[in-house]
């Protein structure tokens, strides 16, 4: 199988699965339990916190564990607005993941919240001039995606953060880092909240984290037993957390080699595919974009049909984010970037992982070239 | 203690003459099938079917299951007891106890199938009515529009009392009227067409054409799910999944663009007819209605019909789209039909299809290619799925 849909999810590393298994069948204890076994689990979980915090140059206390990207994003939005009294403005971008976009949109339907959606340019970069103009004293939250899941665009969070601190000092700045964490540098982002999800970097599904800068206005997510400093109640998913820790640690140890490998594969795939006539790159130039996401339009072919045509060859790609892939009609992200018509219909997202090989890129490109040629014979007439 | 049973009244079987026992036996069989997990005792007796030994707590749900069994006019949840006046009176008072506090109107209806019972129908109504008025002062009699119709049936060995009936689907028991092959697409219409034909007692088989990679696995799963929903009424049947890509691309390559869709339908009909013959089906069923789309104009239908010798039943032929949607919602297939995994064969749909094709022209266009080997290959590579009829409440 040539799996090129790593932005949808990744294969769990055996080491991570092993760590999770050990935390289920061996040290299965509740970290909140009063006896020694519990205390030792709590210590292990706090070590995992430190590992997760490192790429963000954060302190371990600033990491709270969640069930994944969607929960982190929901908690970020609701938790940062909970204490706000009176009229407020919430700013986000047109290319956010549904777990931010829909959540913020739901606020706009209540009375005293004004939602501003920033446009993006054709490479998917949010318009920072529009951000500057939109920032007000009563802006309570700005939420921007770090790496776009469909186009690979890397938002300049640092620049955005500077504007926010000057023009909207009471605003909480959240970034959805689900596609960015470990793939691009995250050590000087200047954000207050940052979401991440384990299954995007070879750890199990159903676990993730939210970075909460100490001192930021954040009332927390789900309520209950008061775990995670009362910011996220619920028994900790220790198997998931330790699996995530293991995968994150391995990623950090191999960081530059793994990123380099993805970059090489992406370049190779791109070079191969661009030799097919009428193929257009969507998103920023390769060197600017995240190392693992490549979005191309095969004009005259429907992306959905090409995707299915690759199935018998055991090649998995996507026409867009899996969270939106089942909805019929337009692709919101590409539409926002002005990628329309034939170009939108023919778009395919390739997303890589460190374990893809150059040989896979050559083989995939060869099959794609053949299939594109075949499918182009049948255009609507 | 409570003795409860379901009293089943037939629909059209009443009209049958000498072969009536055949229809009745079939209906008993279908009722047993629908309640197979509880295995009740089902007894046929003079124009009624009685279902005994059902767990009391699920009676409503079991009765509702029978709304999906064709051949039934209505089901009532009845109390039964000995054929004595004392028992009838006691059951009546117990049944009406639910309305003790409410000022409701009622009327007693009585049917005496066993004429040996000492009271005639009129007497039963009068006496029981009087007892009830005395027991529950809030009740009033209304002989024209009673809120609670209380029915007493004196049968051969027991008396049954019930206060209402659940209307069922009607029609005739599936399996009493031969077998037909339904062309099922994944849209709104064909499941409704299948439902309507099955309702006339016809067993089904179904056939679906897919064009990988133009259609996806999810589109296929959707058709399987639609077939399953239809089978809740029609009983178990076989679904034939036919690979159709080669024929479609060949039509595209070799035949006039504007005729693509009609040609495609002719070839589908041919494959459906052969498959029908091989499994003992005597007719084809489609969800077409006149004029809904270009391929369903009266000319197009004539051209499609011309492709086969078998009768083609189109139960929706005179229906508006709105009416079809309403039925699809009622039988529970609509929500699945509108899932967005529509076949993405739009490349093969011409921008300007012929709306008035002629039989001669289309025969000529079809003769441009020798489709026979492709038809044979499609039939050879057809996959058969047994659609199983699992009752869902």
Which residues on A lie below 8 Å from B340 (Cβ)? 326-329
Tell me how close the Cα of A317 comes to any Cα of chain B, in angstroms. Answer: 14
Record the pTM.
Answer: 0.87
- Mark whether B149 and B268 lie in a shared domain: no
Domain A14-253, CATH: 3.40.640.10
- Mark whether B113 and B219 lie in a shared domain: no
Point out the domain boundary residue: B148, B170, B192: B170
- Mark whether B137 and B37 lie in a shared domain: yes
- Mark whether B245 and B379 lie in a shared domain: yes
Distance CA B214, CA A304 (A): 8
- DSSP-derived secondary structure for A301-316: S-HHHHHHHHGGGTEE
- Mark whether B234 and B324 lie in a shared domain: yes
How does pLDDT run along chain A (381 residues), one tens digit per residue? 999 999 999 999 999 999 999 999 999 999 999 999 999 999 999 999 999 999 999 999 999 999 999 999 999 999 999 989 899 999 999 999 999 999 999 998 777 899 999 999 999 999 999 999 999 999 999 999 999 999 999 999 999 999 999 999 999 999 999 999 999 999 999 999 999 999 999 999 999 999 999 999 999 888 888 899 889 999 999 999 999 999 999 999 999 999 999 999 999 999 999 999 999 999 999 999 999 999 999 999 999 999 999 999 999 999 975 555 445 568 999 999 999 999 999 999 999 999 999 999 999 999 999 999 999 998 877
CB distance from B215 to chain A under 8 Å?
Answer: yes
Q: Which CATH number does the domain housing residue B98 bear?
A: 3.30.2130.30
CB contact under 8 A, A305 and B350: no
Q: Say if B392 falls within a structural domain.
A: no
CB contact under 8 A, B344 and A380: no
CB distance from B212 to chain A under 8 Å?
Answer: yes
CB contact under 8 A, B350 and A311: no
- Mark whether B192 and B124 lie in a shared domain: no
- Mark whether B52 and B148 lie in a shared domain: yes
Q: Say if B393 falls within a structural domain.
A: no
Query: SS3 of B141, please?
Result: strand
- Mark whether B149 and B260 lie in a shared domain: no
- Mark whether B230 and B368 lie in a shared domain: yes
How many structural domains is chain B composed of?
2
Q: Say if B335 falls within a structural domain.
A: yes
CB contact under 8 A, A308 and B213: yes
Q: Say if B68 falls within a structural domain.
A: yes
- Mark whether B255 and B362 lie in a shared domain: yes
CB distance from A327 to chain B under 8 Å?
Answer: yes
Interface test with B, best of A306, A378, A379 (most B CBs within 10 A): A378
Under a CB-based contact definition with an 8 Å cutoff, are residues A319 and A307 in contact?
Answer: yes
Q: Could you list the active site residues of A? A: 323
Q: Residue A90 is encoded by which pair of tokens? A: 């919430």
Q: Tell me which residue range forms the domain holding B149.
A: 4-170
Location of structure tokens 């009424």: B233
Q: Say if B45 falls within a structural domain.
A: yes
Nearest CA in chain A to B254: A378
- Mark whether B278 and B300 lie in a shared domain: yes
Where are the domains positioned within chain A? 2-9+255-376, 14-253
Domain A2-9+255-376, CATH: 3.90.1150.10
- Indicate the residue of A309, A328, A380 with minimum beta-carbon distance to B347: A380
Distance CA B30, CA A309 (A): 44
Q: How many Cβ pairs within 8 Å bridge chains A and B?
A: 39
CB distance from A370 to chain B under 8 Å?
Answer: no
- Mark whether B107 and B203 lie in a shared domain: no
As for the ipTM of the complex, it is 0.82
Location of structure tokens 């076949």: B343
A315 exposure class (CB count in 10 Å sphere: 0-12, 13-18, 19+) = buried
Location of structure tokens 């016809």: B202
């Amino acid at each position: 199988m040539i799996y090129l849909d790593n932005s949808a999810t990744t294969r769990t590393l055996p080491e991570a699965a092993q760590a999770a298994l050990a935390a289920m069948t061996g040290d299965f204890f509740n970290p909140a339990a009063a006896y020694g076994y519990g205390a030792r689990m709590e210590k292990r979980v706090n070590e995992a916190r430190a590992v997760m915090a490192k790429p963000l140059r954060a302190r371990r206390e600033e990491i709270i564990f969640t069930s994944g990207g969607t929960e982190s994003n929901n908690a970020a939005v609701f938790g940062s607005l909970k204490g706000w009294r009176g009229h407020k403005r919430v700013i986000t971008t047109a290319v956010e993941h549904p777990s931010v976009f829909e959540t913020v949109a739901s606020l706009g339907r209540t009375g005293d919240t004004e939602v501003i959606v920033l446009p993006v340019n054709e490479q998917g970069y949010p318009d920072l001039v529009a951000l500057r103009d939109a920032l007000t004293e009563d802006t309570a939250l700005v939420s921007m995606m770090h790496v776009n899941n469909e186009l690979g665009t890397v938002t300049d969070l640092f620049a955005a953060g500077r504007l926010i601190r000057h023009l909207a000092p009471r605003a909480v700045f959240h970034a959805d880092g689900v596609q960015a964490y470990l793939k691009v540098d995250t050590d000087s982002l200047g954000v207050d909240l940052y979401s991440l999800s384990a299954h995007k970097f070879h750890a199990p599904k159903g676990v993730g984290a939210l970075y909460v800068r100490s001192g930021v206005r954040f009332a927390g997510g789900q309520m209950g037993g008061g775990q995670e400093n009362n910011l996220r109640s619920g028994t900790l998913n220790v198997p998931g957390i330790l699996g995530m820790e293991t995968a994150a640690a391995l990623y950090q140890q191999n960081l530059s080699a793994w990123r380099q490998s993805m970059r090489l594969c992406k370049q190779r795939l791109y070079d191969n595919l661009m030799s097919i006539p009428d193929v257009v790159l969507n998103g920023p130039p390769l060197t600017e974009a995240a190392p693992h996401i490549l979005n191309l339009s095969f004009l005259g072919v429907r992306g959905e049909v090409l995707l299915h045509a690759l199935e018998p060859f055991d090649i998995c790609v996507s026409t867009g984010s899996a969270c939106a892939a089942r909805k019929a009609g337009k692709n919101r992200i590409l539409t926002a970037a002005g990628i329309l018509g034939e170009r939108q219909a023919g778009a395919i997202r390739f997303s890589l992982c460190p374990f893809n090989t150059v040989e896979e890129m050559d083989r995939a490109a060869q099959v794609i070239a053949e299939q594109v040629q075949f499918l182009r014979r049948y255009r609507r007439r | 203690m409570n003795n409860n049973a379901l009293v089943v009244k037939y629909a059209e079987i009443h009209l049958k003459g000498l072969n009536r026992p055949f229809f009745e036996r079939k209906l008993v069989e279908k009722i047993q099938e629908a309640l197979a997990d509880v295995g009740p005792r089902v007894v046929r007796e003079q124009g009624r079917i009685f279902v005994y030994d059902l767990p009391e707590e699920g009676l409503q749900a079991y009765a509702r299951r029978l709304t999906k069994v064709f051949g039934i006019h209505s089901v009532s949840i009845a109390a039964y007891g000995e054929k004595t006046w004392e028992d009838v009176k006691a059951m009546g008072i117990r049944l009406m106890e639910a309305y003790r506090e409410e000022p409701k109107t009622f009327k007693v209806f009585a049917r005496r199938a066993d004429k040996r019972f000492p009271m005639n129908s009129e007497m039963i109504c009068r006496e029981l009515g009087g007892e009830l008025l005395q027991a529950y002062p809030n009740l009033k009699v209304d002989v024209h529009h009673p809120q609670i119709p209380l029915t007493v049936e004196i049968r051969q060995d027991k008396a049954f009392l019930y206060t209402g009936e659940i209307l069922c689907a009607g029609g005739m028991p599936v399996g009493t009227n031969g077998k037909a092959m339904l062309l099922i697409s994944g849209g709104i219409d064909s499941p409704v067409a299948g439902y309507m034909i099955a309702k006339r007692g016809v067993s089904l088989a179904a056939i679906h054409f897919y064009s990988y990679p133009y259609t996806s696995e999810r589109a296929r799963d959707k058709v399987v799910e639609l077939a399953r929903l239809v089978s809740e009424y029609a009983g178990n049947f076989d679904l034939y999944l036919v690979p159709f890509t080669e024929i479609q691309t060949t039509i595209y390559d070799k035949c006039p663009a504007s005729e693509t869709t009609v040609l495609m339908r002719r070839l589908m009909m041919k494959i459906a007819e052969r498959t029908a013959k091989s499994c003992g089906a005597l007719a084809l069923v489609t969800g077409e209605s006149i004029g809904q789309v270009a391929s369903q104009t009266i000319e197009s239908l004539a051209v499609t019909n011309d492709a086969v010798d078998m009768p083609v039943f189109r139960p929706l032929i005179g229906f508006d789209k709105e009416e079809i949607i309403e039925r699809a919602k009622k039988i529970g297939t609509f929500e699945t039909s509108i899932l967005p995994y529509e076949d993405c064969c739009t490349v093969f749909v011409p921008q300007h299809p012929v709306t008035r094709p002629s039989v001669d022209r289309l025969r000529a266009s079809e003769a441009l290619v020798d489709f026979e080997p492709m038809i044979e290959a499609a039939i050879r590579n057809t996959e058969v799925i047994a659609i199983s009829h699992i009752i869902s409440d």
